[in-house]
Amino acid sequence: MREGLTVFKVTLTNPLKIGLLEFKPNFDGTGITVNGIPVKPSYIIHSRDRIDIREGERIVYLIEHHIAALTLTGITDAHIISHRSDWNFYRPEDRAAYSTNAEPSMVLGDPNGVIGAELVESLLKAPKTTIRKLHEYTKPGKPVEVELEESGVIRVKPLEEDYIAIIKLFFKGFKIKTIFKTTPPNISKPLLHKISNSITPFLSDSENTVYHVLGDLIGDLIGLGGIIGVEIQAFLKKSYHALTFKLIQKILSTLS
């Protein structure tokens, strides 16, 4: 069900280079692409410990952190181009890409396992253009729940309030509650700073990993899935990307 909130698409006003990545405006309002591949649920081929997308024989690995960064900074439409040219075979994503004769540029995520403070800060400060085109989001008309033994449980229900999401996250005994608003700043800057600096729980047992999980949850459900106007209650374990993708599939299946 698509109704309720009025959310316009937003893109960068100018091209932006951050390290080996280039972010270009998408004034056509067709969404996000990574190395030319659309970032949409139908293009996802791997969603257990990371998010990979595929078009034809081309695969881009580990896109979730950059989708989270765009979503957290209010950007709905952009073209991401990677100029990475060196392999790091300590990383399973690099080994997977190399085995398919792909280039290093097809592995996107930071090897340190963070969304990235420089990335988020640069996107936050960059001039943006509102496209006079409504964001095509999905709002479920009734509560939806998914559960996987190794991943946890997520429950969503439609909101009456005009928020993109109210999020209640439980992970490793820690709890975070936040509101993701319809206009920037969508969340508080102190929380955004914690999210961008925290490391993935796949590389650390620190309690701060809960903030990384929150960023992934926002990027997966709101950025990739386009699910908004909901309360999200998530009790997560590791391999939670499998759970978020299952939820997206379940919600979209009710609309088809």
CATH of the domain at 99: 3.30.230.20
> Looking at the domain assignment, is residue 3 inside a domain?
no
**Secondary structure of the chain: what % helix, strand, coil (to 5)?**
30, 30, 40
Cβ neighbours, 10 Å, residue 173: 7
* DSSP codes joined into one string, 96-130: HHHHTT--GGGB-S-TTSB--HHHHHHHHHS-EEE
How high is the mean pLDDT of the chain?
93
- Percent of the chain at pLDDT > 70 equals 98
Rounded alpha-carbon distances, angstroms, from residue 70 to 31, 40, 121: 11, 14, 11
Q: What is the pTM of this model?
A: 0.95
Which of 114, 132, 150 lies at the terminal end of a domain, its last residue? Answer: 132
Asked whether the predicted pLDDT for residue 5 surpasses 80, the reply is no
pLDDT in the model for residue 136: 80
Asked whether the predicted pLDDT for residue 133 surpasses 90, the reply is no
Are 151 and 233 members of one domain? yes
Interval 91-111 mean pLDDT: 95
pLDDT in the model for residue 1: 39
Asked whether the predicted pLDDT for residue 88 surpasses 80, the reply is yes
pLDDT tens per residue, range 11-55 = 999 999 999 999 999 999 999 999 999 999 999 998 788 999 999
- 230-236, strands of its sheet edge to edge: 144-148, 152-158, 230-236, 165-171, 174-180
Asked whether the predicted pLDDT for residue 3 surpasses 60, the reply is no
| In contact, 22 and 144? CB cutoff 8 Å | no
pLDDT tens per residue, range 136-147 = 888 898 999 999
* Rounded Cα–Cα distance for residues 94 and 98 (Å): 6
Q: For the chain, how many structural domains are there in total?
A: 2
> Looking at the domain assignment, is residue 2 inside a domain?
no
Which of 81, 110, 132 lies at the terminal end of a domain, its last residue? Answer: 132
> Looking at the domain assignment, is residue 1 inside a domain?
no
Are 76 and 156 members of one domain? no
Asked whether the predicted pLDDT for residue 79 surpasses 70, the reply is yes
Rounded alpha-carbon distances, angstroms, from residue 101 to 86, 92, 107, 256: 14, 15, 12, 36
Are 217 and 187 members of one domain? yes
Least confident of 2-6, 136-140, 216-220: 2-6
pLDDT tens per residue, range 144-185 = 999 999 999 999 999 988 889 999 999 999 999 999 988 777
pLDDT in the model for residue 2: 44
pLDDT in the model for residue 255: 73
Residue-range definition of the domain harbouring residue 73 = 8-132
> Looking at the domain assignment, is residue 77 inside a domain?
yes
Are 88 and 169 members of one domain? no
| Domain at 148, CATH number | 3.30.1700.10
pLDDT in the model for residue 256: 58
**Element counts in the chain: helices (H) and strands (E):** 6, 15
> Looking at the domain assignment, is residue 152 inside a domain?
yes
Are 153 and 127 members of one domain? no
Which of 109, 132, 155 lies at the terminal end of a domain, its last residue? Answer: 132
Asked whether the predicted pLDDT for residue 205 surpasses 90, the reply is no
pLDDT in the model for residue 160: 85
Interval 112-129 mean pLDDT: 95
